[in-house]
Structure 1
Amino acid sequence: MTPPAHSRHDSATTFWWAPGAMVLRLMLVAVVAVGLAGSVSAWLVTRASGQEALRRIVGQQNDEVEVLARLLASKIEQSQKLLGTVATGITPAMLDSPSSLEWLLQQGLPAARFFDSIQVARPDGELSMNLRHGRVEKADNLDPAERDYLRRTLADGKPLVSEPIAGHTSEARVMFTMPLHREDGGVLGVVAGAIRLQSQGLLPPSMALPARDDSRLIVFTRDGTILAHSEPTRIMGQVRDEPGLAQVFTAWQRRAQPVVNGAVTQVLPAHIVSMAGMPLPQWLVARVSDSQAQLAPVRGAQHDAWWAAAAALLLIALAATLGMAWLAQPLAQLRHRAPQLLQADPDPLGPWPRAPGEVDALVEVFRGLERQRAQQQARQLALGTQFQAILDNAPVGIVITRSGRLEVLSRQACHMLGYSAEALQGRPARMLYASDADYADMGRRVRDEFASHRAFDGDVCFMRKDGGPVWARVQGRSLGGGDVEAGTVWILEDMTAAREALRQQGWAALHDPLTLLANRAAFEQRLQQMLAQQAARVHEGADCGVVLFLDLDHFTVVNDVAGHDAGDDVLRHVARMIDVQVRQVGWAARLGGDEFAVVLPGCTLARGQAVAEQLRAALQAWEPSYQGRSFTLGASIGLVVLDARLSTVAEVLHAADMACYAAKRAGRNQVVVHSAEPFASANGVL
């Protein structure tokens, strides 16, 4: 093949050092790869640094609320211990002596001055002492909530820490109770002490300092009442109104989890929320931080790092591109030199480029390709000559079509159709039919046959070049696994003379109109003639042939499921299969229904068994398909050897029918040989 005339000019004027399209694409890939690798690495580092910063913030905030929860818990515990000290100093006699109690609580026990108010109650719930800010008050001035906690302690005999008791925020207080026990363990009274929430002994205002716009410290009860807050106005408010904390608190309440020691932190889209519990007072401490503000310094550093990484990546990509361009110079020379392989004249551009590695290997490949091209051209010429010789000498017509066009035709096919090979090759197959209707009808037949049998086998009428009809027995096989459009090979056998015989008088009376095989009358007539002609040989002890009796297995299933049209199609196809198998050694007939007979004149028993087994295997392997369903057929075959014992057609048919019946009884789809003894199969077993 010679390249276009301008190719050589282009090769001479193209810069030899200019990289080709592949090298340019490789450079682009390298630049993109460097960019992607750098971007992914920078993203991973940025993500890792952000996660590490967030982890540190979470850890620090988690530790902070846990330490604060422990501190507050220790204050509660210390308050209880002080109240226990007060309870230890109260004797049973003092419960009935208010003056003794007053002196003990005001002067005798310094621990009592830790509480803002102290109450002492007898077992019946009546107050013995109500001391508030160092002054004795009437029992009626006791808050109902405080009285309720006193009664609960008397009933349960256990110390309590109350929920916040408040009217006004500044008066909010927590009450501690401690039962007074007799020597026998019974409860003889209760002592209670109250401390204001906003006091140094419990929750001083300085606890939430220093105040920050991006973070809030909150202490609240189990039911969500705020006890301490960075904003004093929020004290005694509800946690459900706190941004960020409300979502975490609601989820915690929904799970109905108990207040336990330890801290947990949740990272929300806009907040970082840490919570720690204090089991004894059933309080919780929370730190709510603005995640965006907390991570702002880290993101600023990440932004600067991104710009520095982008500049570094740009320099690396530029250096990689220049390096690849320099390394690709020998390959560019090879690309510039390679088109000379297609030229027959001497090389005008000098020798092949040399470079260790891939370029030298490619040069050797190009030189080898030059030698192989010449060898392949010689082989293709020889194969083409052999293939054409096969086509020219084939006794039948051979045609290969693809996508409705004639690609290859043998000499016999061209002679049959009256055309030259040049007149048909590449032309539409439609030109071989008399009309569009005939061509469309043939297309439907081919599609139906391929759908049902994966092949085509039938008689087709073509139109010769001179306009006359030519009948051919056509067998088609797909070159693409059943796809007709992928290519089909057709074998054509001229049947014009045989079709002409169809129109002669008497033919219809001796042939089956569905399968075109000999009918029962013709079978009996020909068989009787053969028996009479060979009577002398039979009397001499020589076999004069074999008769096969075939009965299809499961044929009624096709009729019942797919209909009688499908059944007729099966009978036609079976008749063609039998005719193809035996036409060189005998002849076949349809006796009626799904029963067929085959006569093999001069055939031995062994040869007859082989032919019968071939027929049985071919029918078993064929799986027709109708209405989207595949069917499996078979054949029970009775074999009869024509000898001196069988002199009439009736005797032959009876013996063959009995052998076929034995095959049915033995399980179907097998060959049984008739003998004078009880029926035996081909291998001697019923």
Structure 2
Amino acid sequence: MPGPLVRRMMLIALLCVALAGGLAAWVISHASGEEMTERLVRQQTDEVELVARLLASKVEQSQKVLGTVAEGITPQMLQSPSLLEWVLKQGLPAVRFFDAMEIARADGRLILNLQSGKMEPAASVDMDERDILLRTMVQGKPLVSGVLGTAAASARVMFTLPLVADDGKVVGVVGGVLRLQSQGLLPHSLGLPARDDSRLIVFTSDGVILSHPQLERVMGNVRSEPGLDKAYAQWRSELKPISTGRGDTVVVQDRLISMAGVPMPQWWVARVTESHALLAPLHGTHRSIWWTAAACVTAVGLLAMLAMAWVAAPLTRLHRRAQSILLTQGLPDSQPPTSAESDLLSGALDHLEAQQLHHGHQAEFSRLQLQGILEQAPVGIVITRNDQLELLSQQASLMLGFSRAELEGQLVKRLFADEAQFETLERQMREGAITRGGYEGEFALRRKDGSLLWARVLGRMAFDRTSAMAAVWVLEDMATTHEERHSPQWSRSHDALTNLPNRTAFLERLKAQLVRNAELARAEQLSAGSGVALLFIDVDHFTLVNDRLGHEAGDMLLKQFSSLLEELVRHVGWAARLGGDEFAVVLPDCTAARAEMIAEHIRASVEEWEFVYEGEASITTVSIGIVVAPADLEEVTPWLRAADMACYYAKRAGRNRVVVREVADKASA
């Protein structure tokens, strides 16, 4: 008797042959000319209904785009045509949707005439378009014009919308014009593919042809279309209403004519097909049925073979995988590559089990090594996984007053003074992981004796293979700094929003840095080409953040940006806030090349950083000007002015870039 696997394959083959016979019988029994005709008629009706709905959606989309333009126009703009033109060109991309845009005030004066994005005189506006604008203003409701123009090249459709003030009074009207053959309305490709036996035609309720496979027929009349002329005359006599999505098919003079309407512009979509072409597939149907049945039997036979291969594929893959494992990891003598599947699989599993045990020993050894490093680390280090404390350094335990055994395995929130502090850290962790892979903040931690430990938390996050979130913290005792921040001297010398040195403290510290730089130069302790590098940093388009999201979002952006900036330059210099969105970074004993490299790192890091406010994310960039002070420079003003001008040239060159300049003397400044 065949084995279970072969028996399953034979059963599949038998079922496939039965399926092929049943499919052939079904095809023969249902192949009739009447059914095929009905199906083709239904297909043609569905086609014209689909095209009608497409045109209706295009018209509706055009109205919505015009509505978007109208929402951006205020009554005050109507009093300033130049301001209105600038706003439409710069702030409303929807204007480019239309080939022409016209706006008139309530007094009938046309104040804007944009033709293909260019301002044209009001007198050049067509009288038909003026009449439509006037009708819209009088009626106070949106309108869609009929076809304007007499030639295909100049034919167009106009959409209008009244501009209504808060009190409901009509203060103006806006109109958008689309060429008839534009992509937004009736492109040439709508009538494709063109066939001798079938034509797709779009025409108005007055019989004017708007789209035709033969372009020379556009703007002609349907009364000259064979077959369609009688259907059109019948529709006119019955006063048939136009409704979207409902098509109808009639037979006129051996032609099959399907029609569907587009209500808003009062258009018709028609497909005219020769009946003999439609029924041509019926010729030789029975002969093709037998060929189809044979093809089906062949296809089913191939399907059976593929099914057999599919059933055996898992066993084949396991066999090859076992061979690969044993060959690459060292083949045992008792199991050569020609062994049976069961022997190879057993050997491979034994080998994998031994590897797993070996890796477990290695992981435990690595853990002991890490623990030894943590015991000797001079800073507080905490490793967490999924909001649980996993490992702590000896220094972190001393800072918190707990033993490692008391904290390892506990929830992270146990270390925090209150729930709000922990939620803030958790939010910064996730936001920092998304934007720059880390986070930073100052938090009040609770020691074992109940006292508070103000610490700066620097963290980096990662995800392991099981998608568990892991984090490494570096704790820095900020108790002294925290006390200093509550002293009057701190508030006078530091910015209240960002905690960075303010402009006064910046200038004092900068003068002291210049004096020290001059002393080092006289003592020949400065490297060749080194000096004090000043980076003048300006946040690009900061006013747009205030205007779009509000001043609270702007303050939050400045706080997060200053924190990022301080983190980036902590080990190479110091930062200060000069005011508004202007910051400075001072790099002692630094060359121009190294300053430019550091500035480029700052620029790239800020560009990668993503500012998120109330779920809305935005990209921030900075312009940076660099000036390295020569050894004999004693005045701060020309140095600061040169850095400011370097930043100005960076913004003028397109923003989001770094510009290096030399300091100017007092005369040239």
* TM-score for both structures, normalised by structure 2: 0.48
| Bigger radius of gyration | 1
Taking structure 1 as the reference length, the TM-score comes to 0.47
